């Protein structure tokens, strides 16, 4: 049985090996990246079964995505090979030692052509959690309809709906995003957002107020991610604060996906609120402490290696 299903676009990821202007890069590492597939890998590494639904091109990058996700234990039965569009690309480089720049080449990509007919409805309806992101909502009109159809199927089947705002300015304006995201939040049970993302939808002077305003729209659980400042969770009316893990940040990309993966994996395990929040923060810390969007995501055996002083004992 699949615990969690997610859908979206994953891309081939080229990372420049030298720091500086991208125009001077001559050597690149090749991997894959994408918010939803990052999360699926994170959930799988923590011992739960995850599946990814999406389109890839009939090209070597599409094969790379299939082999990478399958190699990490992610179920890819919902992966569709599009013969008429290429797999999207991400290019990552360090402008300085502390500044990571990511560029996306996804216009007209296979992933942006996701549509409701692509959904494995039986897979969604039999899962325990459906996880969506604002990225997929912004990719195209057909991808947005696919997300809406997936959420409708999940809710009809009693499947928990989880969403990460994951706002990308390159894909849509704040004004366009606000109305769509507000509609989406109202249909979710679990919501992840940064403070800036929360303010696209609601008003609030601080993370607790923002969490409360988001909760008023419908979600039972709201997680406000604060990066190096930790996180705030509002669940069933109870507010909890999570202290950050102190690590040296090497690559911030994928930290939010790791946080959500940690929280959802522990929820699927039946863990209590303190443990799921502690694991979420630990997973986010592992993600930023090494290069790569998902390569450093923790396994169960890693969690005890990195703990804040006041973390709950396992």
Whether 234 is in a domain gets the answer yes
Domain count of the fold of the chain: 1
Tokens 């990814």 locate to 52
How far apart are the C-alpha atoms of 279 and 247, rounded to whole Å? 15
How large is the average pLDDT for residues 222-251?
89
Give the pLDDT score at 264: 98
302 catalytic? Reply is: no
Confidence at 312, pLDDT banded by 50, 70, 90: very low
pLDDT tens by residue, 75-99: 999 999 999 999 999 998 888 877 8
Evaluate whether residue 306 is within a structural domain.
no
Instruction: Measure Cα distances from 152 to 121, 146, 156, 159, 189 in Å.
Output: 10, 10, 6, 10, 13
99 found inside a domain:
no
- CA angle in degrees (0–180, nearest 5) for 184-65-262: 50
- Higher model confidence: residue 18 or residue 208? 208
For residues 38-44, average pLDDT: 97
Average pLDDT over the chain, rounded to an integer: 93
Of 257, 291, 293, 304, the active-site residue reads 257
Is 175 a domain residue? yes
Mean pLDDT over 203-209 rounds to 95
Structure tokens at 97: 């030692």
Instruction: Tell whether 120 is covered by a domain.
Output: yes
Neighbours of 163 (CB within 10 A): 25
146-205 confidence digits (pLDDT tens): 999 999 999 999 999 999 999 998 899 999 999 999 999 999 999 999 999 999 999 999
- The CATH number given to whatever domain includes residue 197 is 3.40.1190.20
Judged by average pLDDT, the poorest of 15-24, 138-147, 187-196, 202-211 is 15-24
Query: Which pLDDT score is estimated for 56?
Result: 98
Report yes or no on 202 lying in a domain: yes
Could you tell me the residue range of the domain that residue 236 belongs to? 4-8+35-59+73-81+115-288
Instruction: Kindly report which listed range (78-82, 118-122, 198-202, 285-289) carries the lowest average pLDDT score.
Output: 285-289
pLDDT at 81: 98
Task: Answer yes or no: is pLDDT of 309 > 60.
Answer: no
Instruction: Tell me what pLDDT residue 311 has.
Output: 42
Is residue 93 a part of any domain in this protein? no
**Is the dihedral angle over the CA atoms 241, 246, 247, 251 positive or is it negative?**
positive
Residue 88: inside a domain = no
What sign results for the dihedral spanned by CA atoms 198, 290, 64, 59? Answer: positive
């Amino acid at each position: 049985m699949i615990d969690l299903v997610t859908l979206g676009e994953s891309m081939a990821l080229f990372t420049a090996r030298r720091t500086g202007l991208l125009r001077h890069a001559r050597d690149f590492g090749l991997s894959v990246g994408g918010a939803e597939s990052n999360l699926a890998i994170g959930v799988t590494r923590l011992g739960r079964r995850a599946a990814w639904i999406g389109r890839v091109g009939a090209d070597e990058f599409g094969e790379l995505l299939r082999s990478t996700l399958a190699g990490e234990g992610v179920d890819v039965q919902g992966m569709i090979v599009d013969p008429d569009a290429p797999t999207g690309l991400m290019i990552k480089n360090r402008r300085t030692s502390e500044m990571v720049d990511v560029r996306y080449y996804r216009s007209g990509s296979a992933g942006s052509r996701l549509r409701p007919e692509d959904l494995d409805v039986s897979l969604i309806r039999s899962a325990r959690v459906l996880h969506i992101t604002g990225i997929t909502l912004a990719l195209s009109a057909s991808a947005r309809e696919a997300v809406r159809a997936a959420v409708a199927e999940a809710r009809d089947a009693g499947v928990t709906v989880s969403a990460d705002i994951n706002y990308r300015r390159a894909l849509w304006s704040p004004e366009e995003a606000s109305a769509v995201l507000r509609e989406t939040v109202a249909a979710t049970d679990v919501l992840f957002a940064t403070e800036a993302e929360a303010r696209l939808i609601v008003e609030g002077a601080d993370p607790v107020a923002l969490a409360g305003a988001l909760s008023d729209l419908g979600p039972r659980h709201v997680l406000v991610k604060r990066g190096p400042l930790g996180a705030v969770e509002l669940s069933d009316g109870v507010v909890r604060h999570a202290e950050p893990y102190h690590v040296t940040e090497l690559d911030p990309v994928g930290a939010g996906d790791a946080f959500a993966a940690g929280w959802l994996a522990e929820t699927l395990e039946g863990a209590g609120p303190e443990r799921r929040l502690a694991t979420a923060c630990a997973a986010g810390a592992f993600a930023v402490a090494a290069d790569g969007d998902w390569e450093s995501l923790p396994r169960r055996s890693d969690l005890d290696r990195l703990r804040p002083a006041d973390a709950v004992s396992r």
